[in-house]
Amino acid sequence: MTKVLVFIDNPGASLKKSSLELLTLARSLGESTVAINGDLSDDVAATFAEYGVGTVLHPSANDLGDFLVAPKAAYLAAAAETTGAGIVLVDNSPEGKEIAARLGIRLNAGVITDVVAVDPDGTAHKSVLAGSYNTACKATTAVSVLTLKANNVAPEPASAPSTPETATVEVPAVANAARITAREQKVASGRPDLTDARIVVAGGRGMDGDFGPVEELADALGAAVGASRAATDAGWISHDAQVGQTGKTVSPQLYISAGISGAIQQKAGMQTSKVIVAVNKDAESPVFEIADFGIIGDVFDVLPQAAAEIKKRKG
């Protein structure tokens, strides 16, 4: 049976949905071991058991988080070697991809990013060229390293829980790593996380400095708030909200684009959304070429009316 190693950095007090997706996928591919970095809470330990994890590994050092990725990759490589993993699964965050990148070199393993599904034989599926092709790829090496995009696997506990063993992995010294010398925590918005939200309401330059209507509609729908680069560059909303080629890639059930023209770099981040709604007062905007439902109208009329109607219907 293939041994599958899952990396979960700082699991915190409870596992994120994307981590549960990794555990679910790992179990479908073989026998799963988790390598964590950071503290293991009782709740998370219980979840590992529920998800059928065989072994939980800890690093011998506790300062991996003080450096950029290199020591984490070294730890994970050592973990993969001791467990004899054939597949290593990492989340698809920018950091996850970098850890995968370095890990690949350390293990002489092919790395595939942006994976949305994995077949039992290890073939990974992903879309490329801004969502215009669906491809199947495979590592030709003994070990494959895959980074899984959030929202593509339904989290499901094992049919029978496991009693995970624990073990410590010696972290090899890494001579040259960039050190994190300061960290400013960002204020949490209380809204769903953009990359794995089921619904995203995004605003662009058409919001003219006022994201209120976007936020109001997002809250009525329980949605995350996104933005075009024009809106983040103008400082109307934090850069984290940017969707697109140089921002986040989202693939929600519903994407509402408000006052956004639909430039190629914006489309690159959202065109795999299931349903796209666009509100724009210019009928010529390219966003209408990809919208399932387009409204030629003013965002300051349409968004508040829709938010009020949703609240009314939801009672």
Partner 1 sequence: MKIVVLVKHVPDAQFDRHLNGEGNTADRDESILSELDEYALEAALQLAEARGGSKAGNQVIALSMGPAGAVNAVKKSLQMGATEGVHLTDDALAGSDAAATSLALAAAVRHLGGVDLVLTGMASTDGETSLVPAQLAERLGLPQVTFASSLEVDGGRLTARRDADTSSETVEAPLPAVVSVTDQINEPRYPNFKGIIAAKRKSITTLSLADIGVDPAQVGFAGSWTTVTSAEERPPRTAGTIITDEGDAGIKLVDFLAAQKLL
Ligand X SMILES: Cc1cc2nc3c(=O)[nH]c(=O)nc-3n(C[C@H](O)[C@H](O)[C@H](O)COP(=O)(O)OP(=O)(O)OC[C@H]3O[C@@H](n4cnc5c(N)ncnc54)[C@H](O)[C@@H]3O)c2cc1C
| CA angle, residues 33, 35, 38, in degrees to nearest 5 | 145
Nearest Cα to Cα of residue 147 among 197, 102, 83: 102
Could you tell me the end-to-end alpha-carbon distance of the chain, in angstroms, rounded to an integer?
Answer: 52
73 binds partner 1 (CB under 8 A): yes
Question: Which residues, 170 to 229, sit near ligand X by CB under 6 A?
Answer: 204-206, 228-229
Question: Which residues, 191 to 210, sit near partner 1 by CB under 8 A?
Answer: 199
Q: Among residues 3, 171, 280, 288, which is the contact residue for ligand X, using CB under 6 A? A: 280
**CA distance to 193, 196, 287, per residue, from 156 (Å):** 20, 17, 36
16 binds partner 1 (CB under 8 A): no
Question: Which residues, 93 to 122, sit near ligand X by CB under 6 A?
Answer: none
Question: Which residues, 247 to 266, sit near ligand X by CB under 6 A?
Answer: 247, 259-261, 263, 265-266
Question: Which residues, 233 to 292, sit near partner 1 by CB under 8 A?
Answer: 239-240, 245-246, 253-254, 264-265, 268, 271, 275-277, 279, 283, 288-292
* d(C-alpha 170, C-alpha 37), whole Å: 12
289 binds ligand X (CB under 6 A): no
Name which of partner 1, ligand X, none residue 199 binds, using a CB cut-off of 5 to 8 Å depending on partner kind: partner 1
Q: Among residues 114, 156, 208, 219, which is the contact residue for partner 1, using CB under 8 A? A: 114
φ and ψ at residue 224, rounded to 5 degrees: -85, 160
Cα 86–chain centre separation:
23
Sign of the dihedral through C-alpha 264, 206, 312, 292: negative
Question: Which residues, 283 to 302, sit near partner 1 by CB under 8 A?
Answer: 283, 288-298, 301-302
Question: Which residues, 119 to 158, sit near partner 1 by CB under 8 A?
Answer: 123, 127-141
* d(C-alpha 46, C-alpha 39), whole Å: 14
